[in-house]
Chains A and B, each alone.
Chain A
Amino acid sequence: MKVVFVEHNRCLACRNCERVCSFQEAGGFKSENTNIWVQIDMDQRTIFTLTCLQCDVAACLNICPANAIRRDPHTGAVVVDEKLCVGCRMCVFACPFGCMHFENLQHVAAKCDLCGGDPKCVKNCMAGALHYADINYLANMKRKKVDQTFAKTSPLHEGPHRS
């Protein structure tokens, strides 16, 4: 299963992902339409970027009373069928990550649908912080990078002691 993955320590908050996402969604560059979010906290000086994880056990999908949320058979993405959505917002409350949003004009729920398998946010991430790849490949990549970081910083990873 391929997902969009955010490598947080690469994101420099240019916000281009938000813009192309909202364009894909609604034709403009309006932050209320995006399904990927860049949070910049100037007090803490942190950048945190988040998008849907396409959960295997998806709370949004399970809770939807109208059966409007289903899994796309081609991409594996959890997608909203706007024609079936009744606008009850149960999914918005159910998602533990805050990755569902509600379109106030159309009164329907909205979320990342992986652009049908060609996510625009990833193509527009010039920092290389966004990846679109198999979840196990991504986990492996992350493990390797964590290892490398530890190798540099932790005394436990300095290698065998000379005696």
Chain B
Amino acid sequence: MSGQPSHEGFPWKHVIGFVLSILLTVMALWLVFSMQLPVSTEIVSILVLAVFQVLIQLLLFMHLTERDGPAYHVISLIFGAFIAFTIVGGSIWIMAFRSMVS
């Protein structure tokens, strides 16, 4: 059912994760809006921030390190990586024709 009767103190982990994830988003916006960086530097810095964002989500919210019962999370991570690769790689590949037409 909804909610477990036992509460293990204040959810610090979630609060820290929440603040950090918002901070990373704000930093990405700030980089683009307020800094006058070359485009390639901007893209690389956003990508680096995104990697940290992924780590925060996986470690602080998605209980990556907790092991209990069947390893569903391993299967779903592999599938997630497959989907991410397909979407990003596929889109780059599909949109590559644009450099030929424009």
Partners in one complex: no
A residues lining the B interface (CB < 8 Å): none
B residues lining the A interface (CB < 8 Å): none
